[in-house]
């Protein structure tokens, strides 16, 4: 089933807001903020986030993907997940 980009972004945004306790009035938080540099997610959180993306989008993310693709913002992660789904014929 095809997932629209806006929908993928929203899924990720909602998960990150809830899982990492981002306040609603946080002025820095956006779909393009660097999630790690801005401290929303740390190395332990990154493991959780990868697991969530894998299950929500039904894909696998390898260590070499983490090196090869920029996966630092909500939009980057959504784009990557959708591309990977397409490549897998989902």
Partner 1 sequence: MTIDLEQLDADYLAQVRYALAFISEDVVSYDIDAAAKKITIELGPGADEAEVRTRVGEILSRYDQSQFGMKTVVDFEQKRDLPALDAWAGMLERRWATPVGDGHVVLRGPAALLMALVDHKVDSIFAEEFGAELEYFPSTIKSETLHRCNHFTSFPEHMDFVAHLKQDLGVLKHFSDSCRDKGWSPELHDGTMSRSDFAISPSCCYHAYEAMEGWELEKPGRCLTATLHCHRYEGANHKYMSRLRAFTMREVVWVGHPAYIISGRARAEQLIIQWAKDWELSCRFETANDMFFTDDYAVKASFQRQQQGKKELRLDVPSEGRSISCFSSNFHSTTFGKAFGISVAGRPATSGCIAWGYERWVYALLSQFGFRPEEWPAGLRDDYERFVRDRRTTLPARAATPE
Q: Are 22 and 13 in contact (CB under 8 A)?
A: no
- Given the complex with partner 1, which of 18 and 63 has the nearer CB atom? 63
**2 within 8 A of 44, measured Cβ to Cβ:** no
Q: Which spans of this chain sit near partner 1 (rule: CB under 8 A)?
A: 26-28, 34, 36-39, 42-43, 46-47, 63-64, 66-68, 72
Gap between the Cα atoms of 55 and 53, Å rounded: 6
Please say which residue, 1 or 27, places its beta carbon nearer to partner 1: 27
Closest distance between partner 1 and the C-beta of residue 26, in Å? 7
Q: Least distance (Å) from partner 1 to the CB of residue 4?
A: 28
Q: Are 75 and 2 in contact (CB under 8 A)?
A: no
């Amino acid at each position: 089933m095809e997932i629209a980009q806006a929908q993928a972004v929203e899924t990720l945004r909602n998960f990150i807001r809830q899982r990492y306790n981002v306040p609603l009035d946080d002025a820095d938080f956006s779909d393009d903020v660097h999630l790690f540099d801005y401290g929303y997610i740390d190395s332990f959180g990154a493991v959780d986030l990868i697991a969530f993306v894998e299950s929500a989008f039904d894909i696998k993310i390898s260590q070499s993907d983490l090196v090869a693709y920029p996966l630092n913002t909500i939009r980057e992660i959504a784009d990557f997940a959708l591309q990977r789904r397409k490549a897998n014929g989902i």
